[in-house]
A and B are shown apart, each in its own frame.
Chain A
Amino acid sequence: MALKAIIAAALATATAFVASAGKGSAEPRQADPCVVASAPAITDVVAALYQGVPVARNGGLALAGGPDLRLPIPAGRGTVRHVTSDPRFGVVYVLDLPGGDDIVAETPAGQVRLHRDAEVSHPAWMPGGDIVWGEGERLQFWSHRTGAISASMPPIHGGLVFSPVASSADSVVAVVAEPLHGVLPEDEHLSDLWHYDLRGKRWHRVTQFHATADRWSIIRTPELGPKGVEFIRVHGRASATREPTFERWALQAGRAHLETVLPGERYLAGYRDGHRLWNLPSDHPATWLLAQETRSGALRELGCGAVQVDPVDVPDPDRVAPATSSAPASDYPIPPPGDQPPAHEVAVLVGDYSGESGATNAAHQIIAEYGPDAQVKVVDSDAAPTALKPGSWGAIMWVGAQGDPVNAIRHFWDKLPQYADRSWVVAP
């Protein structure tokens, strides 16, 4: 069969590529790895996949760290995400569709396409060639021998299971996000790494991170590396206006250890020649960079594209309202500026004070800094019920109907840094 011959050649190419890469051969570097418009489409999909790192890029499947090629995705709508490759079995990824998604695998035996009536995530190869992925509160397993799909028990009721990694033939670790008050919110508060024993069909928790209403801790992109499972822990405060902390952790003897605090946002993207691959946000915002860690720890850029991270260069199909949606219409074009009434004024407010004297003192400070022409007023919650909680007082400085509120608050903080923690833009 011609396809099998092509696949066999592809696997041979892949093996040779992996072997040569291990000897320190250098891949050709693209002048601008993020430009894909001119990248040729190819017909020999499976062979090409093994010449570089398969990534999701511009909604399709592409290569990074190899020839700049763009691969056609299966016919129909949808965007590619969560790409995993293994030279022994092929490439598997999610074809993200509005609503239910497809798991698609390009294998030596041909293409496997599994439609699911649910959001799915992070398909991964099991050591024998089966596929595991996350689907709601369970893992799902596809048998390459029978084609049957079976589900695990949920580790916790109402949670979200994702990013499974097969650490052995009968052992999978996955991330489990905790529900909040029995419901899974849009934003993640707490997740831990769990272990699933396929023989005993039992879950047990591997990590025990903690979170509060404000402090959150989540796990992302676990990968099976040369020394075992590694993962990224991200933690921060929801109320904070600074980047959270990114850390690389490793599992050793079933226990998680902090390996290093990372310099910024980045996620594991697999390994190549024994070295970590990373996805990092690009200077050009809506792009993921793919880089390889060298022995010195430095990063060598391979190109652009998302491996286990969610693509940022195309909209999530689930976030785009379908044209035929029966949901209430809520999207209208913004009216062009023209004969419009003057805008309502905004102000900078300093608060909250339990009495008038505190607010008056703040008002004097503002006038001293901005001058007597500043429109400053002392108000209480009766005068500004949408800006102040009942019983409190504040000093407000109007910035005018055409004033830019973002620049106004920045300027205010520069002039009166002592009020930076208690001043806000308001529009009472």
Chain B
Amino acid sequence: MNRRHRRRSRLAVVGLIVWAGALLAFIPATAFGWVDDQSGTAIPHRPSGLQDLIDTFGGKCSNTANAARSYWPSQSARGSGGYVYVDPYIARNVEYNIRGEIDAEHKNNAVDYGVYGYACREISGSTSWSTHAWGAAVDTNSARNPMGQGSWDGRGSNGTDFGTYLPDIWKGADPGHFFYWGLNFSRPDPMHFQYVTNY
């Protein structure tokens, strides 16, 4: 094989890799067997206000408030996965819809530590209980997105900037899953996504 042939072959291989990579990036998750579940069962009524939150999720720190779980990459530390606990009321939405989409689209590196769900605690300086005490909220990419930061840092665990890939999956309507984003609070909390408004 002469030098020109070898060069062409190398270019062909490189082109094939680039093409495959680009194709993979644009293939929807459905191609991998995952189908977004936008049913009312998977995305149930989202409460508004404390009374509705209690009526929907039950009491704070209850024995079912952390009875659903899902496994997340880089949960406790970069590259170290772990479980995130939420109320079963939002189990389909958190695990199948959100976690499932990230996994199906091979974007696990978009998740960076820490990722937290249930926690029976009060809000800092307040007698109000955190939405985490109902298992109704998840913090993601906390280290890069602390409370008070007015924008989303989309860098994942591998340092790549995924933009608003994760918030777009959590928040709002399709392709989102109706979680309310803490970035919208007057005191922004970009890591925070909760399944309740006006609280």
Where the two chains meet, the residues of A that have a C-beta atom closer than 8 Å to any C-beta of B are 98-99, 119, 121, 134, 160, 162-163, 175, 177, 181, 183-189, 216, 218, 220-221, 234, 236-244, 267, 279, 285-286, 308-310, 312, 315-322, 325, 327-332, 334-337, 340-344, 346, 381, 385-390, 401-402, 405-406, 408-410, 424-428
Contacts and interface: CB of A to CB of B under 8 A. Distances in A.
A187 B119 contact: yes
Nearest to B95: A427
Q: Which of B42, B125, B186 has the most CB of A within 10 A?
A: B125
Contact of A285 (B50, B97, B173, B189): B50
B174 to A, nearest CB: 9
A425 to B, nearest CB: 4
B128 to A, nearest CB: 5
Contacts of A240: 61, 120
16 contacts: A134-B125, A186-B123, A186-B192, A236-B121, A238-B120, A240-B61, A241-B65, A286-B51, A286-B54, A330-B167, A341-B38, A344-B96, A346-B92, A387-B71, A389-B83, A424-B69
Interface stretch (B11-19, B22-30, B153-161, B175-183): B175-183
A367 B96 CA distance: 25
Given A186-B124, A341-B37, A385-B71, 4 more contacts: A239-B119, A241-B120, A315-B199, A346-B91
A328 B181 contact: yes
Nearest 7 interchain pairs by C-beta: A343-B41, A337-B40, A405-B88, A330-B171, A318-B186, A187-B121, A425-B68
Interface of B: 35, 37-43, 45-46, 49-51, 54, 61-71, 81-83, 85, 87-89, 91-92, 94-97, 99-100, 103, 118-128, 130, 132, 139, 143, 146-148, 164, 167, 171-173, 176, 178-189, 192, 197-199
A188 B125 contact: yes
Select the residue from B95, B172, B192 with max chain A CB neighbours within 10 A.
Answer: B95
Given A160-B124, A386-B71, A428-B96, A315 B49 contact: yes
B71 A325 contact: no
B91 A320 contact: no
B67 A424 contact: yes
Contacts of B63: 241-242
A94 to B, nearest CB: 12
A426 B172 CA distance: 23
A328 B164 contact: yes
A411 B182 CA distance: 34
Given A315-B49, A334-B46, A426 B64 contact: no
Contact of A185 (B92, B124, B185): B124
A237 B120 contact: yes
B197 A331 contact: yes
B117 to A, nearest CB: 10
Contacts of A341: 35, 37-39
Contacts of B51: 285-286
B89 A177 contact: no
Contacts of B45: 334
Contact of B88 (A188, A312, A327, A406): A406
B184 A330 contact: yes
A188 B124 contact: yes
